[in-house]
Amino acid sequence: MRDNFLKGAFIISLGGFISKLIGALYRIPLLKYLGSGGMGLYQLVFPLYCMLLTISASGIPSGIARIISSGQCPHAEKSAFRLYFAIGLLGSAVMCFLSGPLALAQGEEQISDLCLLLAPSVFFVSILSVVRGFFQGRGNMSPTAVTEVLEQSVKVALSLVLLSFAGGGTRGVRAAIFAVTISECVAALYSLYLYKTTPKRPLPLYYAPFNDYKAILKYTIPLTLTAAALPLSQLAESTVVVWLLRMNSADATALWGVFSGCAVTLINLPVSLTYGLAAAGVPKISPLARSACMHEAKRQCARALILTAAVAVPCAAALFIFSPLAAQLIFSSLPQAEKDLLVLLVKVMAVNAVTSSLVQTSSSCLTALGKPVCSTKTQWLASILRVALSALLVRFTALGTVAVAISYNVCYLVAVLLNLWYIYRVKGEENENYPHRFRNKARTVDALG
């Protein structure tokens, strides 16, 4: 079991890291073509996209993985395909509808066209997420890693080709956004090919049929609400903070581009490395929690959190020490003043690489323990705190985007502490009245994973 856990964690972490690394290196030519102003415009369209993506896709992989790995509904992905096909289409339609109001709210009329170009991606990612959840529930992390690298590679390759013809400015931003949509389409089609060509397991011996949709929504809705807190707060930040920055600077969009398009990109590299520990833990922990072996389940949670910290802390230290080198190598086309700001932001946010990683893993642990609502409460409380603190610091201090970096640190520290408290509070007693055959089933599912 230990070897399987580490193998799964390594595979999905490697895929996530390669994907994020490609994305970070992609910023070199992207920033060269678009400039910090174009990068800011590029980043402004993504909060709405991420929010709709959260509603239509974010809770699916962990939720489906939890259901399949626990043995409750081994073929939950079939119902999930039907359910999230409709939700994905609705999400794309909503993004088209909100493109105009978002452009008006953010004071950038080009945002409307960009939203229309990006809208189909919401549907494609919904389908892609169901397939990822199916494989993760079976303990197979390779398809998730492969599709992550594939979508990033297609996006970068196509974007560079289109940018070479479109050049910079608004046309360049449109080209980069269109490449995102095509990459998600390619990844979704490939994931469906993997699903169709994979042998399906027969129903387990102790299977009791029940409402598939109800089971799916029971886990995906709390996970969706949890994940929605981040993009919704980013949408609020991209509107409120940029508006406040404009009170003191004519380059507010460019400053936001340095923060969200450059600094956050570097901070997310260590977080992507630890994603595998979060995803691989669900199919190992959930059968134990389901069979009332809560003590062992919590031991696995502690192990995943310790491994997460062991990876994240050295990465955070490296970010702090080598941030000037990273800024010079990856974002060399930035003016020196913006490059200095980037280095400062990364140094301030280095601790966030640790706290974000721990939030990611602890949230997955709560889902596997059958307490997804706890992580939902945590994420919303921390996100509301972050937006409020960002607005207050930007408005009443001269810190600018550094204020947003500080608020990120506070937000994720609060989230980590709350999630750890919730995990500690989960009952650790074995349920001796729980049917012995279900305990055996859980161990069998775990062994097969």
Q: Any idea where the domains of the chain sit in the sequence?
A: 2-195+216-429
pLDDT at 366: 86
Per-residue pLDDT of 35-83, as tens digits, reads: 877 877 887 787 778 777 766 665 566 666 666 665 556 566 777 788 7
Q: Which amino acid, residue 6?
A: L
Per-residue pLDDT of 246-271, as tens digits, reads: 887 777 878 888 888 888 888 888 88
Q: Which residue has the tokens 């993504």?
A: 46
DSSP letter (8 states) at residue 263: I
Alpha carbon distance 172, 367 (integer Å): 41
Tell which residue, 180, 183, 172, 154, has the closest CA to residue 32.
172
Query: Is the model's pLDDT at 440 over the cut of 50?
Result: no
Mean pLDDT of 226-254: 79
Count CB-CB contacts under 10 A for residue 407: 24
Alpha carbon distance 395, 407 (integer Å): 13
| Residues contacting 184, CB < 8 A, separation 6+ | 120, 121, 124, 125, 128, 151
Tell which residue, 163, 225, 233, 227, has the closest CA to residue 386.
233
Alpha carbon distance 276, 361 (integer Å): 9
User: Confidence band (pLDDT; 50, 70, 90) for 18?
Assistant: confident
| Residues contacting 377, CB < 8 A, separation 6+ | 418
pLDDT at 402: 92
Per-residue pLDDT of 169-198, as tens digits, reads: 778 888 999 999 999 999 999 999 998 888
- Contact (CB, 8 A) for 79 and 70: no
Per-residue pLDDT of 384-432, as tens digits, reads: 999 999 999 998 888 888 999 999 999 999 999 999 999 888 875 444 4
The pLDDT > 90 percentage for the chain reads 23
Query: Is the model's pLDDT at 229 over the cut of 70?
Result: yes
Note the pTM of the prediction, 2 decimals: 0.64
